[in-house]
Structure formats: structure tokens, C-alpha cells
Amino acid sequence: MADLTVTITEAVTLNGSSRGSTNTLTVTGVDDLYHRIITCPASSETRLVDFHSSVADATVSAMDVQNVKYIRVTNMDSSNPLTLGLQVDVGEDDTAADSSASILLEAGKSFMMGSPHDGVQVSDANANMITNLVDLESLVVQPAGNVVQVEILVASVVA
């Protein structure tokens, strides 16, 4: 087992004054890590990772949804954005995604989240905040017209 230390530092000098902050997160007891740099073809959907209640019968990139504590996806391209899809298992039944949310991940930017278990929800019914969260089923990316490299790191703690 190991500790994962994540440090985020923002630094800016505005009107001669230094602003910004440093925040550190430590995830203790990490004993399962999925780390990969993936070359994603232009205009094609690429599946980065799956989250399931059991990884025994799942894909090679599957992680146990209840044990994952940290997820980071970074667009390593210097100029091209991509669309990051959060595939949501609303039924929490390990079959397939029931809905999806998409966000733009600009060149050089990262997306981070903690646990995918009861960690997300989407609704097209209205614009109210939803607090009854469900499981993230997978993460997929789709670059526009250019090949883009993506880095993914997922840290898990076996309960």
C-alpha cells in the first residue's frame, strides 16, 4: 500500500500582488493504480476506463466503483480540445450507461474527481441541483478533427 499525494498550485501576480494558493490531498492506502497515456484517434470515441461493482468479469481497464478514491484525466495536447464523456449508470446495475454528460477539456487542462460511487447524476427534466447521486459507469473521450493524447490516472483503495 502507498499514499497518493496530489498537489494543486495556482500562482498569479496581479497588479504587483502575488495571488493564488496551494492545496494538497493525500489518499492513503492506495493498492491499485490504473495509469495510462492513450493516443485517441481523431473524431472517434475512445473508452478510457470502466467502473463496475466487480472487476472479475469486466474489461481490462475496469476499476471497482466502490474502491476508487481519485480520478484524473489530462488532455496532453498543446492546442486541440476534446470532449470528455461521463457515462452514468443511473440504475447502478453494472449493465451499461443509462445517461451521459459531456464536458469540454481544453488543451493542457485536467478533469479530476473523487469516488465514482454515488458521485454523479444528470437530468434533463429541469435545472435544479440533484443530490441523489449514482455511479459513474465509464469515462470516454472524443477529439475533434485531430489525434490527441490523454493521460488517465485512477487510484483505488481495496476495502
**CATH code for the domain in which residue 136 is found:** 2.60.120.10
**Can you tell me the distance from the alpha carbon of 50 to that of 116, in angstroms, rounded to the nearest whole number?**
10
pTM of the complete model beyond 0.95: no
Q: How many domains does the chain have?
A: 1
Domain-located, residue 110: yes
Domain-located, residue 3: no
Domain-located, residue 90: yes
The three grid cell numbers given for residue 33, joined into one nine-digit string: 493504480
pLDDT digits (tens, 9 = 90+) for 73-117: 999 999 999 999 999 999 888 888 999 999 999 999 999 999 999
Domain-located, residue 123: yes
**Can you tell me the distance from the alpha carbon of 17 to that of 8, in angstroms, rounded to the nearest whole number?**
20
pLDDT digits (tens, 9 = 90+) for 11-70: 999 999 999 999 999 999 999 999 999 999 999 999 999 999 877 766 667 899 999 999
H or E element: which one contains 135?
strand 135-143
Range of the domain at 143: 32-156
The three grid cell numbers given for residue 122, joined into one nine-digit string: 444528470
Identify the CA nearest to 50 among candidates 150, 155, 138, 151: 138
Domain-located, residue 20: no
Domain-located, residue 71: yes
Domain-located, residue 129: yes
pLDDT digits (tens, 9 = 90+) for 122-139: 887 778 888 899 999 999
Identify the CA nearest to 56 among candidates 94, 18, 3: 94
Domain-located, residue 12: no
SS3 (DSSP) at 108: coil
